Amino acid sequence: MSEFDLIRRHFTRATPGALLGVGDDAALLQVREGFVLAVSSDMLVAGTHFFPDADPYLLGHKTLAVNLSDLAAMGAIPRWATLAISLPQADDIWLERFSAGFFALADQHGLELVGGDTTRGPLNLCVTIFGEAEANQALRRSGAKVGDEIWVSGCLGDAALALAHLQGRVALSDSEYNLCAPSLHQPQPRVALGRALRGIANSAIDVSDGLLGDLAHILAASGVGAEIEFVRLPVSATLRGYPELISTCALSGGDDYELCFTVPAALHDALQSLGAQLACIGRIVAGSGCLVLDAEGSSIHLKGAAYDHFR
């Protein structure tokens, strides 16, 4: 199977939302009037971001999900994506499963694959995603204000707990692993929530490298500090069964792909109508950095930080 056969068989579909999709030197895209383009790229490398023997269907899902999560954090509408993929060999069965997982999630969000590249080499997956956001309404990291409440969606830490099990750092039962594994292998990007937060949230970010590290980006961009109440962190019953791992998994474990955002305290009740699992975990304060407080209001000393590829 040639490179071009591979592309035609597994990655070429109709793209009615693009002026020109797969098959030329470049795609042609038209942003709607009154919108701006939101663009993000993420790379997944075998052995770094996923196990080389990962289920290709779930890997196809996650490859796109991590990019959709970036658009969710901006309050953008997913429109198009390109996929660059390096493969050790042209494995038709693997590619069929991978593309099925990728397109199943793409179809859920009305997203079209409009181009990319394939080459032989170590397994490496890179998506560039394009979304539309109404002019002046995109969510950003830089808008947090003193007095804002800090909120997160979903549960934190299950993906990190599942990874710890696979790496032999903790031994989960089969039922415990089956409960937390979907968070690691098949995260659900919060695109609808991101759209709903326009006009409500002052700042937002997706939690990919760990809550503390990602929240730190909001704090730095906004010139503020934060206080988080440890007991208010939304964690699953599975993770609560391993209390010694809660801080590591929920605060710095990464791979959650939930949203962290700040909202004026006056809008607290408005969030209850959004129909999502949300938790208020703290507040924005003057200063810099983030304190994690125990039930008595004392600062907790924590080890570890957000995931960093070069540390």
Mean pLDDT of 198-202: 96
155-176 confidence digits (pLDDT tens) = 999 999 999 999 999 999 999 9
Q: Is 2 exposed, middle or buried (0-12, 13-18, 19+ CB in 10 A)?
A: exposed
pLDDT score, position 309 = 44
Nearest residue to 123 (alpha-carbon basis) of 11, 43, 62, 9 = 43
CA dist 84 and 4 (Å) reads: 13
CA atoms 4, 8, 14, 15: torsion sign? negative
Q: Which CATH superfamily is domain 3-134 in?
A: PurM-like, N-terminal domain (3.30.1330.10)
pLDDT band at residue 303, thresholds of 50, 70 and 90?
low
How confident is the model over 104-109, as a mean pLDDT?
A: 98
List 54's β-bridge partners, or say none.
none
User: Domain boundaries in the chain?
Assistant: 3-134, 149-293
- Structure-model confidence comparison of residues 259 and 296, the more confident one: 259
pLDDT at 304: 53
Nearby residues of 229 by Cβ (< 8 Å), 6 or more positions away: 281, 282, 293, 295
Q: What pLDDT, in 10s, does the model give residues 132-160?
A: 999 889 999 999 999 999 999 999 999 99
- Provide the mean pLDDT of the chain: 92
| Distance, CA of 112 to chain centre | 19
Full-model pTM: 0.92
Residue with tokens 């590290």: 213
* pLDDT band per the 50, 70, 90 thresholds, residue 25: confident
Domain spanning 149-293: CATH superfamily? PurM-like C-terminal domain (3.90.650.10)
Of 70, 56, 156, the C-alpha closest to 109 is: 70
CA 100, 104, 106, 112 dihedral sign is positive
